[in-house]
Amino acid sequence: MTFEDVYQFFQSPPPSYLNQELTVCFVLSILLKKDSYGTELIQLVGNEYPGYRLSDTVLYSALKFLEQEAVIAGYWQKLAGRGRPRRMYTLLPNMQTQSEELAHLWQVHIAKLAGSIAGSTSIELDSQG
């Protein structure tokens, strides 16, 4: 390791993996807009929030939890041009309010993270100037 390695780490930090609590909130934020499936949810995290990643294990654990709590339901959907059906997830109508509250927690978390990153960037620039 060199000092350059240390600087490089902070200039391009590795992504953080979502824990189950954040994943529950993220999934609900998506399902409030549209039905979705596992692979799409994983891709959405990487595309919409480049600093985060989502593992299969954590995602499917969160989806199982949400199904057991009767917040979401899964169903199979056959798509044209695709050999096997895809497992889709949908938000149950009676859980709309609680889902909105939990999705809001995700948005607050992301906003705080963005604010702390913006603040640290200005601190870096101040200390280098």
| Sequential pLDDT tens for the chain (129 residues) | 899 988 888 888 788 899 999 999 999 999 999 999 999 999 999 999 988 999 999 999 999 999 999 999 999 999 888 788 999 999 999 999 999 999 999 999 988 876 655 554 444 444 444
Structural domain boundaries in the chain: 15-128
3-state secondary structure of 35: coil
Assign domain 15-128 to its CATH architecture: Orthogonal Bundle (1.10)
In contact, 69 and 52? CB cutoff 8 Å: no
In this prediction, residue 125 carries a pLDDT of 42
In this prediction, residue 5 carries a pLDDT of 86
In this prediction, residue 7 carries a pLDDT of 87
